[in-house]
Amino acid sequence: MLRRLLPIVLLAGVLTGACVPELWAQSLTAPQQRTLVMGTGGVTGFYYPVGGAVCRVANALRQRTGLRCLVESTAGSLQNLNGLRTGDLDMAVVQSGWVAQAVKGAGAFAVEGPGRDLRALMVLHGEPLTLLVRKDGGISSVADLKRRKVNLGAKGTAQRQLTEALFDAMGWTPADFPQAVDYESDEQIEALCSGKIDMAAYVIAHPISVIQEALSRCNAKLLEIDAKTVAKLVADNPYLSSMSIPAGLYDSQPKPVPTFGMKAMLLTSTRLPSEAAEAIVSGVIDNFDRFQNLHPAIAHISREDLSASEPLVPLHEGAKKVYRDRRLLKR
């Protein structure tokens, strides 16, 4: 058999200008080519460019890993989770609140049942509840919000979900907010500036221009949430995390602002081979400074933050191996 193959190999070497040992070495060492499709979000949001940052790092290592990473714009977390379930997507950026529903088979996933094959590759960034009040509004703490004109946010939004969770943790009921409204997110700043509301709220990554606009136009400030309340919320809701808006991201914001919120997570499923998961995660970790410079939303995260997906959803075994090898597992 070897004698029959040898002329073919020799001819290939002549045609390509390569010697036979080189051809054999290339065939033995060339990585298997694979394309991975990542679902993100709308092109004007955070998920699309942050997912793109992961792909840029992965694609820079393509000759070594054989992986090609493609970013796909989607309608967001719900579509992304459905894409992972059907196999249309290999990876997806998903908000932790949706992850909790999918893992349990609750809410929008009651028909499909628990997503037992969902796995995490990394946590990308936080999406903290960001409370804005006017400096001249007489509100210095969350306790001062009771019976004020607050914008809860439209029903079904993360803003509404987290605002109501905060008020529940404070022991308040809807009766404590007879003037509450449900403006859409893009209506809040005008309402805050004109005095129609005393509090606006966003669940959003930072920095972002809409927050700077509120601070400048409305003479507004970011409202802190006390540590005791945050601890209660995180203990009762595994999809929530303690967070802080870093100091100096905005004008007139010299100190960190403690709060809580949800995470943007990069998910996959057990179908993804371990070597592919290892390549994606190690690529980000080993080129972390470059990765952080690709988008402001990930500029303030740490390597240790990347592995903080449990107990909400298990880490993919390939990702866990990388975190363990680099001593980045928190537990």
End-to-end CA distance of the chain: 54
pLDDT band at 330 (very low <50, low <70, confident <90, very high): low
If DSSP codes are grouped into helix, strand and coil, which group holds residue 268? strand
Inform me whether the pLDDT recorded for 244 exceeds 90: yes
Strands (E), the chain: 34-39, 67-72, 91-95, 118-134, 200-203, 220-222, 241-245, 257-269
Strands 257-269 and 241-245, bridge-based pairing: antiparallel
Q: Band of the pLDDT at 156, cuts 50, 70, 90?
A: confident
Q: Residue 3: pLDDT above 60?
A: no
Beta strand pairing status for 257-269 and 118-134? antiparallel
Q: Supply 177's token pair.
A: 């907010």
- Give the pLDDT confidence score for residue 329 in this predicted structure: 87
Write down the pLDDT at residue 6.
Answer: 36
How sure is the predictor about 331, in pLDDT bands with cuts at 50, 70 and 90? low
pLDDT in tens, 84-115: 999 999 999 999 999 999 999 999 999 999 99
| Residue 201 pLDDT greater than 50, yes or no | yes
Mean pLDDT over all residues of the chain?
90
Spell out the residues 6+ positions from residue 198 whose beta carbon is closer than 8 angstroms to its own.
133, 134, 137, 139, 145, 148, 149, 150, 192
pLDDT band at 32 (very low <50, low <70, confident <90, very high): confident
Confidence of residue 75 (pLDDT cuts 50, 70, 90): very high
Strand partners, 94: 265
Q: Which CATH architecture has domain 127-262?
A: 3-Layer(aba) Sandwich (3.40)
pLDDT in tens, 139-149: 999 999 999 99
Mean pLDDT computed over 157-161: 94
Angstrom distance (rounded) from CA 137 to CA 20: 79
| Percent of the chain's residues with pLDDT above 90 | 86
pLDDT digits 0-9 by tens, 178-198: 999 999 998 999 999 999 999
CA-CA-CA-CA dihedral for 183, 185, 190, 193, to nearest 10: 90
Q: β-strand 118-134 against 67-72: which pairing, if any?
A: unpaired
- Domain extents for the chain? 33-126+263-325, 127-262
**How far is residue 33's CA from residue 53's CA, in Å, rounded to a whole number?**
20
Helix axes 227-236, 158-169, angle to 10 degrees: 110
Mean pLDDT of 105-130: 96
Segment 190-217 mean pLDDT: 95
CATH H-level superfamily of 33-126+263-325: Periplasmic binding protein-like II (3.40.190.10)
| Verdict on whether the full-model pTM lies above 0.75 | yes
Q: What is the CB neighbour count within 10 angstroms for residue 185? A: 18
- Asked whether residue 160 carries a pLDDT value surpassing 70, the answer given is yes
> Angle at which helices 20-29 and 2-16 pack, to 10 degrees?
100
Is the predicted pLDDT of residue 40 greater than 90, yes or no?
yes
